[in-house]
Structure 1
Amino acid sequence: MAAKFFLLALLALSFSRARASDPSQLQDFCVADRTSQVFVNGFACKDPKTAVVEDFHFSGLHMAGNASNKQGSAVTAVNVAHIAGLNTLGISLARVDYAQYGQNPPHIHPRASEGLIHFQYNCGTKEAIAIAALSSKNPGVITIANAVFASKPSISDDIVAKAFQVDKKIVEHIQAQF
């Protein structure tokens, strides 16, 4: 009898299925309550009954940034500080406007990955626009040139020259630009 029970239990276990999934969120959205005194990772949620359309809207992405600078580009960042409805979603956006021959300097986002959503080139004005999505509520940005040539405390000229395989005078010339 015990052998039959053991065989039946073994058979039942071999046909069982495991199900694994992320639990559903407790709520559909969490609009940031910027007035709350509660300190959490991000912003506390305001009562969903008090959410308004403005919590999910930002009116600045349609306006061109001023790209008349050394780089020839302007970045308009949009995150939970601008759209309260982005709270807890782990995303942010950036609009990058480029003047003719402009560039967005080499950079990294230490707390995010970046994906390009849209790129538009205007032949008449020779300007371009890019919209990027970032996988973080606060992606941060580190511009490589600033990190290398304008760091505080500074990196030794000898080390930078060796790393880039250039003469030390070239490094000093570049550092003088910052």
Structure 2
Amino acid sequence: MQASSIEGVAQATPKKNLLRLLLLPLVILAGMGLSVEAGLLGPLGVQVGHLWATLSIFGVGSAILFLLLLFSGPQKGPALADLPRWQLIGGLLGPMYVVVLTLATPHIGIAMTMIAILSGQVGKSVLIDHFGWFGTARKRVNGERWIALALIVAALVLIARG
């Protein structure tokens, strides 16, 4: 029985690696989309106000998500009311992120805004991984992760000076 368990792990690893390989370009493209969003939101916020710009972006996004849900069929999982309330904090963080993006971009530029956001994201992500917060698998901070974080902070400093 132990041999079959080991074989199952060996078979799952190439699939997991392939999935990671396929998802990485998708995530990079999504990151590029955030830069485009910042470029759109900055001027929109100046024209109509930062909160209206944020509301319009979330309104369009909500309408698209509603259509996707409508045509994707029944969804698996618990009802929204059955989820722990702390898991819904993202509903607060998303608009805060977009408002800050809308406010900052016209003043400090897209590159500076994005690298500052990236610095915060990677810094917090390293802590979340290290401590296994929010039910994630623990990944201890090692030398490579510290170097990566330091390089991102160095990029922030260089872009700020440039």
The structure that is helix-richer by fraction is 2
TM over 0.5: no
Instruction: Name which structure has the greater RCO, CA cutoff 8 Å, separation 6+.
Output: 2
The structure that has the greater radius of gyration is 1
The structure that is strand-richer by fraction is 1
TM-score, normalization by structure 1: 0.24
TM-score, normalization by structure 2: 0.26
